[in-house]
Amino acid sequence: MALLEHISDTVLGTIFDILPIAAILLFFQFLVIREKPVNLAQIAWGFLYVLMGLSLFLVGLEQALFPIGETMARQLTSTQFLYGSDVAPTAPHWQDFIWVYVFAAAIGFATTVAEPALIAVSVKANEVSGGALNAWGLRVAVAVGVAVGVAVGTFRIVTGTPLPLYIMAGYVVVMLQTLRAPRGIVPLAYDSGGVTTSTVTVPVVTALGLGLASAIPGRSVLIDGFGLIAFASVFPIMSVLGYTTAAAWRRRRKAASKRDEESQP
């Protein structure tokens, strides 16, 4: 029964979150546009599904994933696990944290694949491109980007190197990639940076950052604990640009070799 209570509480919370959006939509739909959408009943059902779906999703995450994800982040960053003793050495080596990087990459990948906002954007991209853009391929590309990003981000916390350096280097890479990427894909790639970090990824990744910053001597939890989300937003832009540029290049090469074959007698 505790579960049912939790579900009804979460439904209430989600309604509260949706309320401002619904108010804005209703205001503009009926007072500014002043016409009824043709499929109003269907849209209303859709909103009900979204409300129920999001609530169940959150309850399930809180029940099954967040506690265990956060416990793991804590255990992997405990001094006992890292150094085999209760006392942290004054100058730990970055190699001591190998499992933290592996976990960061794995959990970054896994939570991104399940991110509802990313599913929405990839479905839309597939629809708009007439099926040319594979929704699943796009999601995997984004997830690989988040995986690398979060792993590099944990490395930064461990070594205590300045965050702006990494992000600026990331921007430079994105700029260079933009020059070579197929034009049509650029906006979508930029978008993928923002959609990766919402419901599922943020809580687990934040727990990892805070746990890690508190396990290393000389790191401030409040200052060094931040920044992982920023990594998770820059790296997917790179991976999506890279993925689509490579795909376009392969297509061109295939077309070229086909032309060569045809031109030979």
Partner 1 sequence: MSQVQRFFRLLLDAARDLLPIVAVIFVFQVAVIRQPFPDLAGILTGLALVVLGLALFVQGLELGLFPLGESMAQAFARKGNLTALLVFAFCLGFGTTVAEPALIAVADKAAAVAGGDGHIADTDAARQSYAFNLRVTVALSVGFALVLGVFRILKGWPIHYMIIGGYVLVVVLTNFAPDEIVGIAYDSGGVTTSTITVPLVAALGVGLASRIRGRNPLMDGFGLVAFASLTPMIFVLVFGMVT
Asked if 63 is part of the footprint of partner 1 (rule: CB under 8 A), the reply reads yes
Q: Is 167 helix (H, G, I), strand (E, B) or coil?
A: helix
| Between 83 and 190, CB nearer to partner 1 | 190
| Between 45 and 258, CB nearer to partner 1 | 45
Residues 65-94 that bind partner 1 (CB under 8 A): 65, 68-69, 71-72, 75-76, 81
Q: Please give the torsion angle defined by the CA atoms of residues 158, 163, 166 and 169, in that order, rounded to the nearest 10 degrees.
A: -170
DSSP-assigned letter for residue 172: H
- Residues in contact with partner 1, total (CB under 8 A)? 103
Tokens coding 131: 């099926």
CB of 197 to partner 1, least distance (A): 4
Asked if 103 is part of the footprint of partner 1 (rule: CB under 8 A), the reply reads yes
| Between 71 and 257, CB nearer to partner 1 | 71
B/e letters for 53-67, b = 16+ CB within 10 Å, e = fewer, are ebbebbbebeeebbe
**HEC per residue, 11-31:** HHHHHHHHHHHHHHHHHHHHH
- 203 contacts 129 by C-beta, under 8 angstroms: no
Q: Describe the crossing of helices 66-76 and 201-215 by its angle, rounded to 10 degrees.
A: 20
Only one of the segments 85-93, 220-228, 243-251, 252-260 lies at the binding site for partner 1 (rule: CB under 8 A); that segment is: 220-228
CB of 93 to partner 1, least distance (A): 19
Asked if 154 is part of the footprint of partner 1 (rule: CB under 8 A), the reply reads no
| Between 8 and 257, CB nearer to partner 1 | 8
Tokens coding 151: 């792993």
Asked if 161 is part of the footprint of partner 1 (rule: CB under 8 A), the reply reads no
| Between 18 and 88, CB nearer to partner 1 | 18
Please give the single-letter amino acid code of residue 265. P
Tokens coding 32: 């500014």
Asked if 21 is part of the footprint of partner 1 (rule: CB under 8 A), the reply reads yes
Residues 167-196 that bind partner 1 (CB under 8 A): 167-168, 171, 174-175, 178, 183-188, 190-191, 193-196
